[in-house]
Structure 1
């Protein structure tokens, strides 16, 4: 059966959910397709205080507040010197940030989009996309849809933008090796994000709403031993980050399972929109996790994309400015760490 829809959003992450919600609020006929049957567990992420503005603008603040997110009251960094520096959000005009329950965060947007009139279809895989004159036919595992506009929110896969021949400009080869740590002690109430540099990269840890801790080490992929990184290799680097190691030891944390590795490189597609299509969030550009702005930038990207779809903004110019701002912040942050500037990881970033 061929179903007609003005706009089809592919992908149900923060960018897709926020875009679908705002488009539905504007009165558009929207269908969102998500390949997963349910939005399950994902590695935790910190939402900065400034993201409150996006939630309020979308009318999503009242729904967000009762969700199971953990207030984050600041950042502790060991960067450029051995002494930790504390940045408290008490001085931020937007209040505190949050350590997100990612599954609930994303499902909250989808539920709000449904209430606004969007048709959300879970467990639907996009199998083929065809352009037909000024429209698209999207063939899925459950049928086909005819759409005027496609919104690519498929994350780093960039399903549609790659189909359209987009050229990806990759800045680095960063990967994140992460694990979940648990403790039997009920003593850890420090929900701040910890970031600490290391000769081969940097480490962070954050307390999650379910009481576990995400521990992650970021480095370049060629600095990781061939094959999957071992627990011993991972722990050796985490233990060298003394402030994070102290925190984990104080509360007797142990790894729940072996570390996993995922891509974390920064990059962008030079053209993030074309005739009757637009790429949003990680499908358009990906940011170094050091920025701590993944979900916030997804919400901002969705806002700009919706404005463009509604003929109220220049998406390409706005994305270019977002990218240039990110590159400047990335350069300045990495160059602030001088202790290991001659090691491969840091010399690459000082030369960029």
Structure 2
């Protein structure tokens, strides 16, 4: 179905990366997206910039130009941790749309009212416009309709506060609190942001009319706020409440639909950058969709590939967040911290290598533009398997080493750099 009509709901990082990848594969793609309803900024790391570059989102990448000194108050310690780039999300979202239009993707700005299955997918917008697609990509983030059956972490809510302060050097900070934690940032033009993240079930929050005063009172009690902002930070500001509960959809792929980004898995904001997570879950999507449409006989393989990688990404980010929470030992017994320092499980982020546990198995892999099956090396730290390392297929190497062959014999036709990479990888797996 090379002429399939593909509709992507959502033009955030995940939706945009998926749409661009599909366009490169020759598909006609229509993206539907509503505008962000409130101003926000987001701190991003170098790996986010690398992900945007890899996805071809050049205009969006250009928005990550504001570096900010970052301070951390955690477990009773005051730390200065390098810098992070601050993104104005409204400008960033506009740049994503510009990237899509330049690539020949049709972008429709509007709110989706309903999606029906009628010989494909029928999408009706608020203005009455109706779109039809053979394939649907759900990329509306946390606003996407809930999937049937989901894994949920501790129920969490974030209160974002915005106000205008005096211009000054861009800066950001994060601090732990008795019942949660707060992230804050100031742009050079004086726009200020403070977000507190709390347990949705146990936080004693006032009614909507009193939220601004409640948040202002909490800011007045923070030494970090007093150090970062001017006196305007002590007054009530605009407040937006939003869920930040970690969630994983149990079904992220079907024969003619796919979930990507936060619509598939949304992690706790402490676990890592949301944009990086969205990109990570979406970069594989175009090849998965291409397989579903052009090689339907491999549909089950493609769906398994997408689902297992979404699940592994989710667990990795969730465990990173768990370990950050566990570092706050001074508050370990408080309800907020106790619930999060042990979720989702006790498995380490990086499992200890064991050469005896390394196995060879057939698993789905990405081969050029399709999902196919190949023999991969499964390790403690890579449960989905590793197929290639810098262009070297690893399964024959592992089999040869176990048969007593030397690396020189196995890699004689490879470059010195490739040989060094494989040798280092074998040592990391405990092969001595």
Verify same fold: TM over 0.5: yes
**CA pair 237-124 structure 1, distance change in 2 beyond 3 A:** closer
Whether 2:157 is the aligned partner of 1:175: answer yes
Q: 1:34-89: per-residue Cα shift (whole Å, max 9, x none)?
A: 2x3x556432111221112222223333x34554x4422453111112x3111114
Whether 2:132 is the aligned partner of 1:146: answer yes
Judge conservation of contact 1:182–1:212 (CA < 8 Å) in 2: yes
Distance (Å, rounded) in 1 between the aligned partners of 2:238 and 2:93: 26
Distance (Å, rounded) in 2 between the aligned partners of 1:19 and 1:210: 33
Aligned length: 327
Task: Classify the secondary structure of the residue corresponding to 2:157.
Answer: strand
Shift of 1:261: 1.6
Distance (Å, rounded) in 2 between the aligned partners of 1:125 and 1:276: 19
Name the structure 2 match of 1:217: 196
Instruction: Please list, as runs of the form range in 1=range in 2, the aligned pairs for 1:1-352 lying within 5 A after superposition.
Output: 6-34=5-33, 36=34, 38=35, 41-61=38-58, 63-64=59-60, 66-67=62-63, 69-81=64-76, 83-89=77-83, 97-132=84-119, 135-140=120-125, 141-159=127-145, 162=146, 166-183=148-165, 185-186=166-167, 188-191=168-171, 193-208=172-187, 210-222=189-201, 223-228=203-208, 229-249=210-230, 253-255=233-235, 257-311=237-291, 314-352=305-343
Judge conservation of contact 1:70–1:209 (CA < 8 Å) in 2: no
Shift of 1:15: 1.8
TM-score of the superposed pair, with normalisation by structure 1: 0.84
Task: Classify the secondary structure of the residue corresponding to 1:311.
Answer: helix
Distance (Å, rounded) in 1 between the aligned partners of 2:115 and 2:16: 22
Query: Once structures 1 and 2 are overlaid, which stretch shifts more, 197-206 or 224-233?
Result: 224-233
Judge conservation of contact 1:265–1:286 (CA < 8 Å) in 2: yes
Task: Classify the secondary structure of the residue corresponding to 2:251.
Answer: coil
Distance (Å, rounded) in 2 between the aligned partners of 1:299 and 1:277: 18
Distance (Å, rounded) in 1 between the aligned partners of 2:287 and 2:78: 41
Distance (Å, rounded) in 1 between the aligned partners of 2:155 and 2:12: 24
| Bigger Cα Rg | 2
Judge conservation of contact 1:182–1:255 (CA < 8 Å) in 2: no
Distance (Å, rounded) in 2 between the aligned partners of 1:207 and 1:280: 31
Distance (Å, rounded) in 2 between the aligned partners of 1:292 and 1:328: 10
Q: Which runs of 5+ in 2 are unaligned?
A: 293-301, 344-432
Judge conservation of contact 1:46–1:292 (CA < 8 Å) in 2: no
Judge conservation of contact 2:186–2:229 (CA < 8 Å) in 1: no
Distance (Å, rounded) in 1 between the aligned partners of 2:240 and 2:61: 31
Judge conservation of contact 2:23–2:103 (CA < 8 Å) in 1: yes
Distance (Å, rounded) in 1 between the aligned partners of 2:133 and 2:239: 41
Query: Once structures 1 and 2 are overlaid, which stretch shifts more, 271-280 or 301-310?
Result: 301-310
**CA pair 65-52 structure 1, distance change in 2 beyond 3 A:** closer
Q: 1:143-162: per-residue Cα shift (whole Å, max 9, x none)?
A: 43332210001111323xx4
TM-score of the superposed pair, with normalisation by structure 2: 0.69
Task: Classify the secondary structure of the residue corresponding to 1:341.
Answer: coil
Judge conservation of contact 1:198–1:240 (CA < 8 Å) in 2: no
